[in-house]
Homo-oligomer: A and B are copies of this chain.
């Protein structure tokens, strides 16, 4: 399915605020409520809209300290990669993990309360993972941009 201009605007609106009623959306799109309803259902069915979620303010729940950690494994066998990925999946502080090209093998985005919590995470969890060669951590000094709206 190829979204048209109206679908693209609808996607923008829903990515910004999914709690808008179909009536509110219909006014912004110059369509009837039913037409909006059917377009949304189509976007859901085709998987373009994957799901709807609540976004939690990380500062308010003591997860305002953001760390990016690059990791090198000692070897690149399939076994080592798979084992590492499985272990990372289980760590709740790791919000994102990418296998990347370049000097390091993985890039992790880690959310914790503060530096002390990061130290604790580092010592008790990250460095206990198997087959890790070296790590390199960068702390977020300022979140300049964090966009959730994909411009389609």
Contacts and interface: CB of A to CB of B under 8 A. Distances in A.
Contact of A144 (B19, B106, B149): B106
Contacts of A14: 53-54
A22 to B, nearest CB: 13
Interface string A3-36: 1000000010011111100000000000000000
Interface size class of A (residues with CB under 8 A): 35 or more
A98 B66 contact: yes
B66 A57 contact: no
Given A98-B143, A139-B101, A148 B53 contact: yes
A98 B97 CA distance: 17
Interface string A61-91: 1010010100000000000000001001100
B15 A138 contact: no
26 contacts: A11-B61, A15-B56, A46-B60, A47-B60, A48-B56, A49-B54, A51-B54, A52-B52, A52-B54, A53-B53, A53-B55, A53-B149, A56-B152, A61-B150, A61-B152, A66-B98, A85-B144, A95-B145, A96-B145, A98-B140, A98-B142, A100-B138, A100-B139, A100-B140, A102-B138, A106-B144
Nearest to A102: B138
Contacts of A61: 3, 11, 48, 150, 152
A97 B49 contact: no
